[in-house]
A = this chain, B = another copy of it.
Amino acid sequence: MTHLIAIGGSDAGISAALRARELDPSTDVTVVVADEYPNFSICGIPYYFTGEVQPWQSLAHRTAADLEATGMSLRLNTFATGIDVAGQRLTVRTPDGRTEDIGYDELIVGTGALPSHAGIAGLDQLAPADGVHVIHSMGDTFALDHDLTDRQPASAIIVGAGYVGLEMAEAFITRGMTVTQLQRGPEVLSTLDPELGALVHVELTTHGVEVVTGTTVTGIEKTPAGLAVTGTRDGQPFTQTTDLALVVVGVRPNTELLELAGARLGAGRAVVVDEHMRTGLPHVWAAGDGIITHHRLLGQTYLPLGTTSHKQGRIAGENALGGNRAFAGSVGTQVVKVFDLVAARTGLHDHEAVAAGYTPATVDAAADDHKRYYPGAHPIHFRITGDTNDGRLLGAQLVGRRGTEVAKRVDTYATALYAGLTIEQITELDLSYTPPLGSPWDAVQVATQAWDAQHRLAATPV
């Protein structure tokens, strides 16, 4: 009987454990979880703070009992500290502080990522008790929750305007707080080009968020007047005082365990694995936010996303049992709801495509989500990036009102990217149409026609 250990209670580790149990119920599966919250939806935490998701227990994809019912063993509050690769033994610190060695036949490491501090001075000395927060685990969630309840802070500065930062801005606004969002770059949500990020910016300010772009935060300090957040804005010194600071400036791969065991680091200082999730260390596999990402357009990169972790974990679980499945690769599909707006992207931006050796061109377009004569039509704004050499789709960005099916419209582009379709082929797709929900040429095709009109008509033999 194979003994499989998965380290990590989040997407990658649990997916691996579930897949192993599904494929071979005779496998003995142990999941080592650093806290006592296995299989929680970290992506759902902002909606706990808006009040839409209550109680916090409902954030669990599956309860511990659900997981154990599949036949896996959970070791909660257990911290993996070392791997004896040759001896196939994992060293852990148990909940009562003891050190224990556990033998394994196959090991899957899904230790994920850690919040980045982006070099902000003072962060190491400040804690939730000081009103300074990150939001990456259930522990962080409880700490923020207690602070909001205990101190009733009236103002918050959110450092960072990525997905989590924007969702938390909405949460704080919903709770009646004053919110300032500081962003290093020229526009919020840098996963979009600034042309579309600007629409998200307007949505934030419309709902009362003070957005300050071009601002690099260099320090946070506790002062009698509150937390002083300092930095530079467009080269000038910047200081603002707040009751609460939330730092959400991205993550870095949590690689310590695998590095100590001899694994190699690659893109983004994440652990290198092959498409089969092999680390190169015998019987040691890895998946999730701690490893490099195989990207269908970029090769190896680092792009931690929950969807990817699920897929990688599932593959690791299968291959650890003797399977031979390869990760098909990410295309970087992402979506976020910001108040009443939905913003999505897949594939590459123009500048990313240039850096990767493509010859891109990017075209703006707008098209209604459904026939304008039917009530409730709203425009969706697009940026389509294609290769001018071969007409292949390289990327798509979309922003539209909630209800315009932007989240699933981006999936058409994501599927096209997977299949390597040209922009012209997207125009050929047989997409669904009924007046309340689409148009004879769907909005995604109006956008590809706009690209073709600018970049491919010359090739038409007329």
Measured CB to CB, the residues of A under 8 A from B are 11, 23-24, 41, 43-44, 47, 52-53, 58-59, 163, 305-311, 318, 321-325, 328-337, 342, 344, 346, 371, 373-375, 403, 405, 407-412, 414-419, 421, 425, 428-438, 440-442, 444, 457, 460-462
Of B23, B47, B374, B418, the contact of A44 (CB 8 Å cutoff) = B374
Q: A322-B461, A412-B415 are contacts. A407–B429 as well, Cβ < 8 Å?
A: no
Q: Which residue of B lies closest to A426 (CB)?
A: B415
How near does chain B come to A162, taking the closest CB pair, in angstroms? 13
Cβ contacts under 8 Å, A58 to chain B: 373
Cβ contacts under 8 Å, A436 to chain B: 47, 337
Are A43 and B434 in contact, with the CB atoms below 8 A? yes
Of B329, B409, B437, B444, the contact of A342 (CB 8 Å cutoff) = B437
Are B414 and A416 in contact, with the CB atoms below 8 A? no
Q: A24-B462, A374-B44, A435-B47 are contacts. A428–B335 as well, Cβ < 8 Å?
A: no
Q: Which residue of B lies closest to A328 (CB)?
A: B428
Q: A373-B41, A419-B415, A462-B318 are contacts. A430–B330 as well, Cβ < 8 Å?
A: yes
Q: How far is the CA of A53 from the CA of B376 in the complex (A)?
A: 11
How near does chain B come to A358, taking the closest CB pair, in angstroms? 18
Cβ contacts under 8 Å, A329 to chain B: 430
Q: How far is the CA of A199 from the CA of B52 in the complex (A)?
A: 29
Cβ contacts under 8 Å, A408 to chain B: 405, 408-409, 411-412, 432, 437-438
Q: A310-B440, A412-B411 are contacts. A460–B318 as well, Cβ < 8 Å?
A: yes
How near does chain B come to A226, taking the closest CB pair, in angstroms? 32
Q: A44-B435, A310-B441, A337-B437 are contacts. A429–B414 as well, Cβ < 8 Å?
A: yes
